[in-house]
Structure 1
């Protein structure tokens, strides 16, 4: 049987972090050594190590008492699980409190955390504060789906897009799945409600000729022009272009053909993954003269409505009527690489995609076999009445 104990851990700040240690026994390894099996639950409760004032001592006492209460609940959960006793306490937990807890567990993954946070705002509008897991049923879940589909709006009062509805409902779904796994729900009700299908979004990109036209056309903000073309040649996102520092730009010698080797080593803002990306000599030229290692490469670049407007005007002067955003440069890079013979795995690695299926969307855009198939059928000799 699992044993739970309350423990303290001294932090660098001088405070003590309270946590629960779950001892799950041990197993004997192949080499004969014993490995003890433990899990830990950090309670986010902190004690002042050497309290001086009466207030500090009072707060320590309250936090320690709360930690002991949590420990008692966890020990009861373990006991109930062993003897298959229904846990009535968990069913009384409010849905919104549990969602908040699950959201905070994702704090380190910013993109995912932001989606959980955005979905929470809509859940709070739909779900009354007093609703507990004992109140959650299939009709309640269907009601939230209908709310997202017919009522929910953005800050600008626009209806949610198909992909946004898909994302928000999936966060709600993940919350209920976790609630079932952890014993807050008796039945996995979310399986009985169909979610939203993912809509296929249009990925606007530039052809090779259009990119050349942009390169030849003057932009009112030269810094924006350099940054956009750099993104088109490398495929890195706006967020990573914007924060790129000179310490991340490397000159790594000369290859066998006598060409300089350039690489950027950076941490993706979206995924936190470290990327080692080779770049062309022309891409390096767009960065300009090397500055202090801590300085931003594109100093002065910032996301704004004015910057977006100048990007559109630049495209217009180049004769490009597509709705181009800075992210279109990344799409352009992917499409041009595939069109010029790069394999999809290489493109996926260069773009920093975690899954190959994300990159496959670009392969669909430039499917040459589909283009060829359009002209496979022999041309007909046509005589059509009324057509000149």
Structure 2
């Protein structure tokens, strides 16, 4: 069994450097060669005379003993090697940027926004060695109080939650990759979600949009109506190919796909009308929606389309998914089925829409008034 002992090595000016002695030797994380010493970068006075010197000795020895105890636990678990100097000097911002570069779709945009806020908070040279629970909590507090990079409005709590979750995901991956000695992500509490007003369309409003159309962006019209008829997200719709749409029987169709957000494999039944919205079938490898990237231009087009249709609601693409869920529940589909159709992992996520329907019922109950 490897033993870890705290030892001293005399240096200049009547001081001794503190180091850990491993016996037998362990592999050095930088060179791979066996080593017995890990210098802690701390020193004590050999013959302290001043009160401050004595206090420093006490603090340094207590800290060094804490590190020694942790190293002893590490080697007993089979972690034969302290964090290397190279790992400590790794730029976490650069690492985060690399993680963001591997994302696609709307998720990639969220990662890039989170990266911008991380740079605003810590600059571009935040090292792995600088990451502590306190530092991470400070970034969390920053997100809850800062302004959006797109305008002067304060970030909403749910937007801050989304960005901080990206940060925590990068921390978790850094720990898995061996850049972090401790799983800091597990020690940092996240941001609580805030219940928001989910904008949706009534059946009459959806019908008005269909009749009005929008010649400036016909692919957007197709994608939006398809979302309202299937409940699919933008990121999923723009990735689905014609080969994934299968005809199960007369007028019966289903789409087999992997959800971009949850990575869950789904076989989603869809109506014949939803398929007909897409137009003539193309090659199996061609996407059902083409030349449509998520951007502010899309939201601008949605607002123009709504205005032309006489709808005053603030539309985003996600409103069509909300519309699907709300209409299904309003028309009598049970919440469990709606939850499965939306691909929710937990029923409580779908219950948000049930609250909307309950509110509509309460409003309806007050519409009939007798003059008594």
TM-score normalised over the length of structure 2 = 0.64
Residue 332 of structure 2: SS of its match in structure 1?
Answer: coil
Pairs within 5 Å for 1:1-388: 69=31, 81-82=74-75, 89=83, 94=88, 97=91, 118-127=113-122, 129=125, 136=132, 138=134, 140-151=135-146, 153-156=148-151, 158-172=153-167, 184=181, 190=187, 196-220=191-215, 221-254=217-250, 260-367=251-358, 371=362, 375=366
- Is the Cα–Cα contact under 8 Å of residues 214 and 314 in structure 1 kept in the other structure? yes
Gaps of 5+ in 2: 3-26, 39-69
Cα distance, 1:164–1:92 mapped onto 2, change above 3 Å: farther
Distance 1:352 1:165 in 2: 24
RMSD: 4.7
Gaps of 5+ in 1: 3-64, 255-259, 382-388
Distance 1:95 1:201 in 2: 41
Give aligned pairs, total. Answer: 308
- Is the Cα–Cα contact under 8 Å of residues 231 and 241 in structure 1 kept in the other structure? yes
Deviation at 1:345, TM superposition (A): 1.8
- Is the Cα–Cα contact under 8 Å of residues 246 and 291 in structure 1 kept in the other structure? yes
- Is the Cα–Cα contact under 8 Å of residues 203 and 331 in structure 1 kept in the other structure? yes
- Is the Cα–Cα contact under 8 Å of residues 171 and 184 in structure 2 kept in the other structure? no
Deviation at 1:341, TM superposition (A): 1.2
Distance 2:232 2:117 in 1: 32
- Is the Cα–Cα contact under 8 Å of residues 134 and 185 in structure 1 kept in the other structure? no
Distance 1:314 1:187 in 2: 46
Distance 1:307 1:118 in 2: 18
- Is the Cα–Cα contact under 8 Å of residues 173 and 190 in structure 1 kept in the other structure? no
